[in-house]
Amino acid sequence: MVTASGHAYPWDVLGDPEFPGRVRRAGLGTVTLAATYHSTRAATPLHPHRQVVDARYAALYRPVRPEAWDGHLLTPAAPDWLAEPDPFGAAAGLLRAAGLKVTAWIVLTHSTRLGLAHPRVAVVNCFGESYPYALCPAHPEVRRYAATLAAEALRGAPVDAVSLEACGQLGVDHLGHHEKTAGAWTAEARRLLSVCCCAACRAAWRAAGADDEALVAALRRGARTAGAPPFDDAVLLAVRQAHTDALRAEVLAAVRAAAPGVPVTLHASPDPWATGPSPGLTPSAADDVDALLVPAWPTGPETAELVAAAAKHGRPVDAYVTVLSDADGETLVAHARRLRDAGASRLSLYHLGLAPAWRQVLFGDVLDAVR
């Protein structure tokens, strides 16, 4: 049987007494609620008191305790667009009081505010250009920040599960700031432009016996020239995976200390080169967690192939499906069935707060089709 949850932000719940009822009517018993999140401008079409929330920077939706962050280079900010001192805790409490389960949705290495303030720890491409939204896991300061962020997100807030997003490196793709990059690069160029060439990554290449100058030159040629000569990129992936494993180990240790026994889902892609909210799986990643969440917003058959590839790792696969695309209900239903048949045993539905009334019915339609 396929199980499901629906994603939401704290501001979707706070101030809207009808929210838990809508979750129930959608056929859901679990809400995946953001405890940390990157900047966004979010619609709230069904909220009784607002229509838009401008979350201007990445925030921790829990109290930011100075004692927890003492000595850290990187520290989170509280959201000044919400009046509640503990938005996640308050929203989670309301949901649990209504009989709903809560999964803490924790976004880790995605923070433009911190990347701008501390460019040394941001991802840098082969042309020396920084991606300030992307914190590079090669840096111990980033790993320490992510682990403490996860621990503080969970501190004193009983949850039923944890969902880890961006537990790895982000790359060139970033949907924000009126993005004007669509169609600029081939898939191969995007892969190469997503290789981090910061000082820490280059030092790791050299430690592995590689010539970092030669690798950067090869990355530049490949990004600029279709059909550029291939080069040995194994060390690039090996170094990235080592840093990803180190990040995940520190984060999971913090999560399990803060919430013992709570199952952990990892946002991930079976493509080892993937960057972004769902970074590529490393050889050991699946064994470290309880389930894998695979991005499944595109409704074509290639998405089902991603799910099938993830299922081969031997963990339950959670397909991340949006009802906010241009796809009609019939297309979404067929998509959900393909994902189930490909091996998805769970669906994460996006997004309970963003969906207007006429899209809310799609949650139930999708769930009815796969149960």
pLDDT, tens digit (0-9, with 9 covering 90-100), for 273-307: 999 999 999 999 999 999 999 999 999 999 999 99
Distance, in Å, from the CA atom of 273 to the CA atom of 289, rounded to the nearest integer, reads 20
pLDDT, tens digit (0-9, with 9 covering 90-100), for 71-108: 999 999 999 999 999 999 999 999 999 999 999 999 99
- Residue 185: CATH number of its domain: 3.20.20.80
Which residues have a Cβ under 8 Å from the Cβ of 351 and sit 6 or more positions away?
A: 6, 7, 8, 322, 323, 324
3-class SS at 133? strand
Q: For residue 246, what are its two tokens?
A: 């180190």
Residue 186: give the domain boundaries. Answer: 3-370
For residue 337, which of 370, 306, 296, 293 has the smallest C-alpha distance? 370
At 112, give phi and psi (nearest 5°). -65, -35
Query: Strands 317-322 and 291-295, how do they pair?
Result: parallel
Q: For residue 131, what are its two tokens?
A: 């991606």
Measure CA of the first residue to CA of the last residue in the chain; give whole Å. 6
Domain count for the chain: 1
Distance, in Å, from the CA atom of 308 to the CA atom of 43, rounded to the nearest integer, reads 33
For residue 55, which of 70, 37, 31 has the smallest C-alpha distance? 37
Which residues have a Cβ under 8 Å from the Cβ of 246 and sit 6 or more positions away?
A: 137, 143
Write down the pLDDT at residue 230: 81
Distance, in Å, from the CA atom of 199 to the CA atom of 334, rounded to the nearest integer, reads 47
Q: Residue ranges of the chain with pLDDT lower than 50?
A: none
Question: Any idea which residue has 């019939």 for tokens?
Answer: 330
CA 142 vs CA 118, 121, 203, 205, 274: distances in Å: 10, 7, 16, 19, 19
Distance, in Å, from the CA atom of 336 to the CA atom of 342, rounded to the nearest integer, reads 10
For residue 105, which of 350, 283, 367 has the smallest C-alpha distance? 350
